[in-house]
Amino acid sequence: MAIFSGTGSQTLAFLAVALSRRVQKPRGARDLPGAILMVDEKCHAGGLAAIPALPRGNAVLLRDYHNPERHSLARGLLKLCRRRGLYLIMAAATRKDVGLALDLGVHGLHVPEAALHAPARIIGSLRRFPPRWILTASVHSRTALEKAARLEFHAVLLSPVFPTTSHPGRDALGPLRFSLLARNAPLPVYALGGIHTGNVRRLGGSGAVGIAAIEGFALEGDTLERVAIPPSSP
């Protein structure tokens, strides 16, 4: 068992990667990042500051839908991600967002759950996108999860696992219900919602392919932590 020392943000990222490595993946399955840092208008500065905490091969997901400077922000993030060996995934709620992602040449596309109900109006066929892209969707129920699988998304972000300030009042799934959904899902599932270094270990063995977080990375701060990283599954 390896010992890792780092800031709270770094610790969360490494625990996410360790969680991903414990999941048995089908032969030939697409490689997916273990940690996804979400940059959002609710936690913008903190999210950007946490990017250096991500190990290579992980991802930044740019939501921040209403930012008038979204194009320049995305361009700058793409340069930073390429320099640090990270994927940049663009969230898209409109055809204009999809066009921006294609123009910039990012590494993937993410859509909100609403897009699953009328995909033709926003994304069309997923087969039109570059084959190396990572295609993800937000889901909050088994029905939406199964819909994303039928549309051939590569993974979903299932939330909220724990109570979260970004969606106050919404009932959390909890680790047990999340695990039941993730373990029986027809595609890889990320845990999203209220995840931080204090509770991420509760997702061990849940079937999560990794975690996605906003405040979890952005608000962890620079406090040094020393944790045991469990070994990968054989």
Q: For residues 164 and 140, is the Cβ–Cβ distance under 8 A?
A: no
SS3 for 227? strand
> Which one is predicted more confidently, 227 or 144?
144
Residues 80, 117: Cα–Cα separation, whole Å: 34
pLDDT band for position 191 (cuts 50, 70, 90):
very high
Query: Strands, E, within 68-223: which ranges?
Result: 87-91, 108-111, 134-139, 155-158, 189-192, 210-213
pLDDT band for position 231 (cuts 50, 70, 90):
very low
Q: Is the pLDDT of residue 60 over 60?
A: yes
Mean pLDDT of 83-99: 94
- What pLDDT, in 10s, does the model give residues 143-154? 999 999 999 999
pLDDT band for position 126 (cuts 50, 70, 90):
confident
Q: What is the pLDDT of residue 8?
A: 65
Residue 155 Cα distances to 100, 148, 183, angstroms: 21, 8, 13
Mean pLDDT of 158-177: 88
Q: What is the pLDDT of residue 46?
A: 60
Q: What is the pLDDT of residue 3?
A: 34
pLDDT band for position 11 (cuts 50, 70, 90):
confident
Residues 188, 153: Cα–Cα separation, whole Å: 9
Where do the domains of the chain lie, and which CATH numbers do they carry? 18-23+31-221 (3.20.20.70)
Q: Residue 43, Cα to own-chain centre: how many angstroms?
A: 15
Q: For residues 40 and 166, is the Cβ–Cβ distance under 8 A?
A: yes
Is 0.75 topped by the overall pTM? yes
Mean residue pLDDT across the chain: 84
Q: What is the pLDDT of residue 172?
A: 94
Q: For residues 5 and 221, is the Cβ–Cβ distance under 8 A?
A: no
Residues 49, 31: Cα–Cα separation, whole Å: 26
Q: What is the pLDDT of residue 26?
A: 67
Mean pLDDT of 60-71: 90
- What pLDDT, in 10s, does the model give residues 37-58? 998 876 656 667 788 888 999 9
> Which one is predicted more confidently, 184 or 223?
184
Q: What is the pLDDT of residue 209?
A: 95
| Out of 97-101, 110-114, 227-231, least confident range | 227-231
Torsion of CA 50, 115, 102, 42, to 10 degrees: -20
Mean pLDDT of 65-74: 88
Q: What is the pLDDT of residue 218?
A: 66
Q: Can you tell me which residue has the tokens 């030939």?
A: 28
